[in-house]
A and B are shown apart, each in its own frame.
Chain A
Amino acid sequence: MSTATNSSAAGAPGNTARKAPAGERVADWADGRLGIYSLAKSNMRKIFPDHWSFMLGEICLYSFIIIILTGVYLTLFFHPSMNEVVYHGSYVPMQGVQMSEAFASTLDISFDVRGGLLIRQIHHWAALIFVAAMLVHMMRVFFTGAFRKPREVNWVFGFLLLVLGMFTGFTGYSLPDDLLSGTGVRFMEGAILSVPVVGTYLSFFLFGGEFPGGDFVARFYSIHILLLPGIMMGLLVAHLILVFYHKHTQFAGPGKTNNNVVGMPLLPVYMAKAGGFFFLVFGVIAAIAALASINPIWALGPYRPDHVSTGAQPDWYMGFSEGLIRAMPGWEINLWGHTLVLGVFIPLVIFPLVLATIAVYPFIEAWVTKDNSEHHILDRPRNVPTRTAFGVAWLTWYVILLIAGGNDMFAQYFHLSINSITWFARIGFFVGPVIAFVITKRICLGLQRRDHDKVLHGRETGIIKRLPHGEFVEVHEPLPQGKLHTLTSHTQYAPIEVGPTVDENGVERKVKAGEKLRAKLSKGFYGENTHIPKPTAEEYKEIQSGHGHH
């Protein structure tokens, strides 16, 4: 308003003073108070590179938003109380059954609130997809080396989001106080009890006394809807700010360097693509919720500590902790009137360690490589065989634990002995990752060899040609220069050497143990048999000149 008034007052007669359009006037108002023009200058046409795998993080973001939206709706109807009531709602099989208010209100949401079941199912499906998308997104970041400097901190933020997401999911599916979730909470209580010295106290403080008591639903509720999502919201905003600040990574290719970012602008292309993708994700999850039932709490009924169903499984992201506890032998040490419940406590300790391995990996790799430069060009997994093999070894570990966590299901569906599956998991826990590591590394080297040949000898065209003297040959087509550049632009590190330990005067130099370890690891990462040397320009020219290959 003021802008328009000022400009008309200042305008000389005859000079047609322009009255700014309404949108501009609103923007002016906001700019005068928030400085939005400066913010928009650097961000409105921000360039984002295009690759299908860059959408995985978007799925995480969108499913998180969907969870918040549907979760707020559910709080309007859910009663986080363990007061016992007798059910009189419209689900006939449960009428007259004694249950907690939490369970009764979940039945009401499912059977009496129109659309309540849909929102509940969208909420739960979105939670499963959220955690799955985070894991796959992290795999993308891991295998392409996107976690390297300057993005290590953002990797840790993402890791924390994964862990918090898992616990938010656990506290969430425990809220309805149904038979399955109560069994999961009991498992958690048993695990807490196994903690030496303080376990019993922790359990009594968490549950307000003995299990199950009358408090945990209300307490989990505040953790589930306020504490954890609050922290996650903060981390998420920080994560996104850093994505904007660092600018997105990109794969190697013609015109793409470590000092630029090639792609299309946020406005309009990514506004439409990313904004549209939100609706695609939401639409698909809504359709899944319409077609596939999830967590039908009415099927098993309310929780009673002395009742259980067979085939009790946690949501998938807790499956590996279930596997740890199922595979572990039941060791117990009784000494001096105390019990050390190793059979439960060791899995409880390994659980965070399994996760922490991926959290600290960027720092380990940076320490080993001594690489302090910024990396904005992504690695192809095959070009970093040791990292790729490590990642696959971790995933193998994870999958073996998932199998162990579902050993009863596998035994049932595949008609196997549950004992042999458990033993498979016990041995596989140690052996599986090693085998996966070796195989993955070999596959990577094989792929590197293929790239090497493709660069030097060109692409196999499938065209068979008969030479004048009768010989048949397959025609190889040289790669275009862009492709040659893409396949040869990666860096191949040389392993770090400790260096001579004796100087020219024969004086011995002290080498720190850390240095020696670093040199050893570096040799493992980049030493012999860890890469196929890239083709050189000389090799290429020699072969292309037509004399190099006979």
Chain B
Amino acid sequence: MSSQDIPEEKHLPSEQGDAHHGGVAVADDPFADPGLPVHKPRIQDIDERAAKRSERTVAMLFTLSMLATIGFIVSYVTLPVDKIVFIFPIGKVSALNFALGLTLGTALFCIGAGAVHWARTLMSDVEVADDRHEIAAPAEVKAKVLQDFADGANESGIARRPLIRNTLIGAMAMVPLAGVMLLRDLGPLPEVKLRKTVWAKGKLLINDNTNEPLRPEDVLVGSLTFARPEGLEEEQHDFQTQIAKAALMIVRIKPEDIKDKQELEWSHEGIVAYSKICTHVGCPISLYEQQTHHVLCPCHQSTFDLSDGARVIFGPAGHALPQLRIGVNDEGFLEAHGDFEEPVGPAFWERG
């Protein structure tokens, strides 16, 4: 920063017609508060024609708002609710939503714009100062309040009669327990509900897309198949709760590529069935990488290796996906050999 100051220059803007600054101020405290600046009039304050112009602008905005409201009513009455129109550059939109939104927006915005323009151009813009007062009360008020409190407390006798005080505290402490008790029936106790699914020995694996029982030949290498247990139908009242635990994903891996011994044992000709519910916080896993046999949860990117016991190889999940032991029944359909041996879905305290 240069220090080439030429304060004696007379043609500087600050020196022109403003002798107040400079020498005078330097004499005592140059940083002293000069007080509120003098009000500078706006064009509307001195020119009646400009004020009239502002008045007309404000009135025009308010009138525009009225017209927009009429436009809103007309749109509401005339446009069919299912009409789709192409609006550049947004694309295809509901004509009614578009018209109602823009007319309502205009009606509201113009009221606002008119009011603000009115305030800025026609109402007084003279800045005034108002005094503040300390928030804390003066000493005598405080003394009076403390005395009043002492008098009141004294008259109640709460200090002299500890029996009343203590029983009151006890009663007040206990009565909320009634409210807490009432929350008990918000839900049943967990018991073993999170440990069990509707899978059981002999249940067929139903393809979630075709609703047909799966045969081993339906499951091709490189494809990801979603399945649910036989007998679980969408119409059932607890379908959502049951499918939240029972959802299954099935892939076929060449048996020689399966690294985990138990996984191989629980599979059928390289067909492995794993819980679809992520062990992190329960999202359904839906992304499958054919080459590596990795599956990825789209919610938080936990990645599991299906060729190695579905162990976690990346992301925030804490443990492997549970595997369902499967085989083929006499008719050649894939079936479960039992329920999952460990709880599916997110971990919880009692999981162990």
B247 at the interface (CB under 8 A from A): yes
Q: How far is the CA of A330 from the CA of B303 in the complex (A)?
A: 11
A379 at the interface (CB under 8 A from B): no
A195 at the interface (CB under 8 A from B): yes
B128 at the interface (CB under 8 A from A): yes
Determine whether the beta carbon of B280 is less than 8 Å from that of A305: no
- The interface stretch among B148-156, B162-170, B235-243, B322-330 is B235-243
A35 at the interface (CB under 8 A from B): no
A465 at the interface (CB under 8 A from B): yes
A53 at the interface (CB under 8 A from B): no
With contact pairs A259-B132, A339-B348 given, residues A306 and B109 touching in the complex (Cβ less than 8 Å): no
Q: How far is the CA of A455 from the CA of B102 in the complex (A)?
A: 50
Determine whether the beta carbon of B30 is less than 8 Å from that of A537: yes
Determine whether the beta carbon of B283 is less than 8 Å from that of A187: yes
Across the interface, B33 reaches (CB within 8 A) one of A201, A257, A343, namely: A257
Nearest chain-A residue to B249 (Cβ)? A306
Instruction: Give 1 or 0 for each of A182-207: 1 = CB within 8 Å of chain B CB.
Output: 01001101110111111111011111
Instruction: Give 1 or 0 for each of B219-244: 1 = CB within 8 Å of chain A CB.
Output: 00000001010000011010111011
Across the interface, B318 reaches (CB within 8 A) one of A117, A285, A304, A343, namely: A343
B181 at the interface (CB under 8 A from A): no
- The interface stretch among A26-34, A135-143, A209-217, A230-238 is A209-217
B63 at the interface (CB under 8 A from A): no
Nearest chain-B residue to A453 (Cβ)? B1
Q: Which B residues lie within 8 Å of A334 (CB)?
A: 351-352
A461 at the interface (CB under 8 A from B): yes
Determine whether the beta carbon of B29 is less than 8 Å from that of A537: yes
Determine whether the beta carbon of A408 is less than 8 Å from that of B298: yes
Determine whether the beta carbon of B31 is less than 8 Å from that of A489: yes
Determine whether the beta carbon of B244 is less than 8 Å from that of A305: yes
CB distance from B91 to the nearest CB of A (A): 10
Q: Which A residues lie within 8 Å of B2 (CB)?
A: 457, 460, 473-474, 476
B189 at the interface (CB under 8 A from A): yes
Determine whether the beta carbon of B134 is less than 8 Å from that of A254: no
Determine whether the beta carbon of B113 is less than 8 Å from that of A280: yes
Across the interface, B128 reaches (CB within 8 A) one of A262, A330, A476, namely: A262
Determine whether the beta carbon of A330 is less than 8 Å from that of B318: yes
Across the interface, A481 reaches (CB within 8 A) one of B30, B120, B282, namely: B30
A386 at the interface (CB under 8 A from B): no
Across the interface, B124 reaches (CB within 8 A) one of A262, A269, A276, A330, namely: A269
With contact pairs A189-B281, A200-B194 given, residues A264 and B128 touching in the complex (Cβ less than 8 Å): yes
B331 at the interface (CB under 8 A from A): no
Interface size on A, as a range, is 35 or more
Determine whether the beta carbon of A304 is less than 8 Å from that of B243: yes
Q: Which B residues lie within 8 Å of A191 (CB)?
A: 281
Determine whether the beta carbon of A344 is less than 8 Å from that of B280: yes
Instruction: Give 1 or 0 for each of B321-352: 1 = CB within 8 Å of chain A CB.
Output: 00000000000000000000000011111111
Determine whether the beta carbon of A374 is less than 8 Å from that of B97: no
CB distance from B274 to the nearest CB of A (A): 13
Q: Which B residues lie within 8 Å of A210 (CB)?
A: 193-194, 241, 244-245
Determine whether the beta carbon of A306 is less than 8 Å from that of B247: yes
A111 at the interface (CB under 8 A from B): yes
Determine whether the beta carbon of A481 is less than 8 Å from that of B315: no
CB distance from A26 to the nearest CB of B (A): 24
With contact pairs A200-B348, A305-B244, A330-B315 given, residues A269 and B125 touching in the complex (Cβ less than 8 Å): yes
Q: Which B residues lie within 8 Å of A408 (CB)?
A: 298, 301
CB distance from B338 to the nearest CB of A (A): 20
Q: How far is the CA of A309 from the CA of B244 in the complex (A)?
A: 16
Determine whether the beta carbon of B186 is less than 8 Å from that of A326: no
Q: How far is the CA of A284 from the CA of B276 in the complex (A)?
A: 44
Q: Which B residues lie within 8 Å of A489 (CB)?
A: 31, 33
Instruction: Give 1 or 0 for each of A116-142: 1 = CB within 8 Å of chain B CB.
Output: 011001100000000000000000000
* Chain A interface residues toward B at CB < 8 A: 46-47, 84, 90, 98, 111-115, 117-118, 121-122, 150, 183, 186-187, 189-191, 193-201, 203-215, 245-247, 254-265, 268-270, 272-273, 275-287, 289-293, 303-312, 322, 325-332, 334, 337-344, 374, 376, 407-408, 418-419, 422, 450, 453, 455, 457-458, 460-461, 465, 473-482, 484-485, 488-489, 537, 540-541, 543-546, 549
Closest 10 pairs between A and B when the two form their complex, measured CB to CB: A290-B101, A190-B281, A283-B109, A276-B115, A279-B112, A255-B36, A332-B318, A287-B105, A306-B247, A305-B244
* Chain B interface residues toward A at CB < 8 A: 1-9, 12-14, 18, 20-22, 25-26, 29-37, 76, 81-82, 90, 93-94, 96-102, 104-116, 118-120, 123-132, 134-135, 183, 186-190, 193-194, 208, 226, 228, 234-235, 237, 239-241, 243-245, 247, 276-277, 280-284, 286-287, 298-302, 312, 314-319, 345-352
